[in-house]
Chain A
Amino acid sequence: MPDMVSVAEVADTMFKLVKQAAGLKKYKAMDLEKAMRELYGDRVDKAVSKAAIKELIDSGRCVYTYFGGSYIEIPHTEAAANPQG
């Protein structure tokens, strides 16, 4: 049994990916999960990736966005949004 990567570490790695890609590429939940598998191999599983995404969203470090499909991004003001009244 390999040493599993912690949820916190996976969340940090995901956050870096999302932040670096801001404005260039949007990640879906499954894209992040696949990226973690590529990076950590069998040291990360579905449950850990899922918990890491949950951590990112619940802490407010990332938000879900919707542009045709649902994506995970860092919070920002989007082009379509009107200022708050």
Chain B
Amino acid sequence: MPEQKFPDKLQELKSGAWPSFVKEIENAAQTSPMAKDLYGQLNQSYNEKIGHWKHGGIVGVLGYGGGVIGRYSDLPETWPNVSHFHTMRINQPAAWFYRAEDLRKVCDIWEKRGSGLTNMHGSTGDIILLGTTTPELEPIFNELTAIGFDLGGSGSCMRTPSCCVGPARCEWAMYDTLALTYDLTMTYQDELHRPAFPYKFKFKMAGCPNDCVASIARADMSIIGIWRDEIQIDQDAVREYAERGLNIQSVVVGRCPTRCMAWDSKELFIDNENCSRCMHCINVMHRALRPGNDRGATLLIGSKAPIMEGALLSSVLVPFLEIVPPYDDIKGLVNNIWELWAEEGKNRERVGEFIQRVGLANFLDAIGLEPEPEMIAFPRENPYVFYRTE
């Protein structure tokens, strides 16, 4: 590894059972001077306990306000090959389906014009290409678009929408998550590339309440597949589970969060009115239970990881919506939300924080939605009861 005046502390990060990013940087450093200096600067940071990156600024490709994250070393004389080390975010295909030949082409471009290091994928879902210089940005963009890729979102843009694998491979998908993701990506190209919001806005599409894309915690708008009618029960298959040793009472009924199930050793009973569609029983006895047939999605709003303020989970906005192209209901609602938030939101205020500031009632009023019981996260905590005498 590169000559340096600090003890090599990074080697320790290669121990253990998991893949190590240090190992990957070392591999890349065989051929990439950028990866070599990255190793050196990172090791210096671990020794000094100081980060040596400067972020932000004016880097991008013409016409776009997102997709490139500017990064510079504050030790350019010591580590000249990472003087510029910009990140590029590339819009991933819905549910991350690639042809191997396309991935090879992306890697070839990145090995030629960048550090060769990638992160598959970032928490929003994009392909993250780590480390290039300002003069390489336009050539990389041109070469990527020529093979059908485009930049993803960053800054105050709509971020690259992402979804679970959905009906492509999963039997629980209540709607076509891939089709909706592709449609929203194409419909909102301006919002994806031209930042016009107070802060970022993320869409995540999950096909069912298992929520494999963690949309309930990581998306400003979570669209989670759901069914409205009754869970389908195959009683013979339920009894088969019991005969094979599954303790239905304890593992299924006992862990139903709303206590809406009963099992008398012969028949399973579900009070569907009180089922919260958590998927637990279906996940455990997937050969015996299936979601109902009246399928759509719940739209939720407002979750985010902690950055400016603490973390938030999404809250229900529309309890049930059929998800069918051209998705006009969703787009109409999204446009109303964006208009209000763009106009009234403070700088760097996520939509969930905005709702907390103005109050859900005012927010619903402004976007033209009626309050619904499903929007209530928990009962009121104060003891005041207001009533009118007749």
Contacts and interface: CB of A to CB of B under 8 A. Distances in A.
B194 A82 contact: no
A83 B76 CA distance: 9
17 contacts: A28-B198, A29-B194, A29-B196, A30-B197, A53-B196, A57-B62, A57-B65, A69-B195, A70-B65, A70-B66, A70-B156, A70-B157, A75-B58, A78-B56, A81-B57, A82-B83, A85-B84
Which of B55, B84, B156, B190 is packed against the most chain A CB atoms within 10 Å? Answer: B156
Interface of A: 28-30, 50, 53-54, 57-58, 60, 63-70, 73, 75-76, 78, 80-85
* Majority DSSP secondary structure for residues of A touching B: mixed
B46 interface: no
Given A69-B199, A85-B83, A63 B348 contact: no
B54 interface: yes
A30 B76 contact: no
B63 A58 contact: yes
Of listed B57, B60, B62, B84, residue having the most chain A CB within 10 A: B57
A82 B53 CA distance: 11
A30 B76 CA distance: 36
Nearest to A32: B196
Interface in B68-85: 69-70, 72-73, 76, 80-81, 83-84
Contacts of A84: 84, 133-135
Given A28-B156, A65-B57, A50 B348 contact: no
A66 B348 contact: no
Contact of B195 (A60, A64, A75): A64
B64 A30 contact: no
B342 interface: yes
Contacts of A67: 56-57
A66 B154 contact: yes
B155 interface: yes
B343 interface: yes
Contacts of A73: 58
Contacts of A58: 62-63
B198 A69 contact: yes
Given A50-B190, A54-B194, A81-B134, 16 more contacts: A29-B194, A54-B190, A64-B64, A66-B65, A69-B198, A69-B199, A69-B348, A70-B65, A70-B155, A70-B156, A73-B58, A78-B58, A80-B72, A81-B58, A81-B70, A84-B133
Contacts of B54: 80
Interface string B140-159: 00000000000000111100
Contact of B56 (A66, A75, A76, A82): A66
B15 interface: no
A53 B196 CA distance: 10
Interface in B178-212: 190, 194-199
Nearest to B71: A80
A33 to B, nearest CB: 8
A64 B60 contact: yes
Nearest to A29: B196
A73 B54 CA distance: 20
Contacts of A64: 58, 60, 64-66, 155, 194-195
The 4 closest A-B CB pairs, nearest first, are A64-B65, A70-B195, A70-B155, A70-B156
